[in-house]
Structure 1
Amino acid sequence: MGIRDIIEGKKQWRAHLARVKALPPDYQIVYKEMQRYFFKVGPVELTDGSLLSGILDFFEEGVAAGKGVLELIGDDVAAFADDLIKDSRTFADIYQESTSGKPGTAEK
């Protein structure tokens, strides 16, 4: 990864954050909590940026339709977030596989 890639990544992240700040306050709160959860849980797909961008696109469509965030995702935000990554591998899964000595993984 070169310096240009880092700079471009920062530009994209700042543009993403500007889109988040343009959401209504209730959407921002839910988005930030989901983001914090995903950063903590660490789904592997998070690194390519499509998960958070997809959520943001979904939220922007909800705002355009005039719906409240809980009307859009339901009352249980945690269940909604878990459902988005239920079939995703997490970094914790990869670590557990590497330490368990399963075939095809490095033993520690």
Structure 2
Amino acid sequence: MGIQDMIEGKKQWRAHMARVKALPRDYQIVYKEIQRYYFKIGPVGLADGTLLSGLLDFFEEGVAAGKGVLELIGDDVAAFCDELVKDSRTYADIYQESVSGEPGTTEK
């Protein structure tokens, strides 16, 4: 990854966060909690940016429709997050496989 790629990535991230800041306060709070949750569990697909940008698109559509954030996702934010990534591998899964020696992992 070159310097230009890092600069472009930073510009995209700032534009993404500007969209988040344009959301109503309740949406912002829930978005940031979901973001924190995903950064903690580390879905492998998080790095490509489609998960969070898709979530932001979903929230913007909810705002346009005049719905509250909990009307969109339900009362259990963690369950909503888990449902979005239920079929995705996480870095925690990869680590667990590496320490347990399950098939399909590399040993040192």
CA drift of 1:100 comes to: 2.5
Aligned to 1:32: 32
TM-score by length of 2: 0.95
State the 4+ residue runs in structure 1 displaced beyond 6 angstroms.
none
Query: Tell me, which stretches of 5 or more residues in structure 1 are unaligned?
Result: none
Task: Decide which moves more: 92-101 or 5-14.
Answer: 92-101
Q: How many residue pairs were aligned?
A: 108
RMSD: 1.0
Aligned to 1:81: 81
Aligned to 1:47: 47
Contact 1:99/1:106 (<8 A) preserved: no
TM-score by length of 1: 0.95
CA distance in 2, matches of 1:100, 1:76: 31
Give identity over the alignment, percent.
Answer: 83
CA distance in 2, matches of 1:103, 1:59: 39
CA distance in 1, matches of 2:107, 2:61: 46
Query: Tell me, which stretches of 5 or more residues in structure 2 are unaligned?
Result: none
Contact 1:62/1:68 (<8 A) preserved: yes
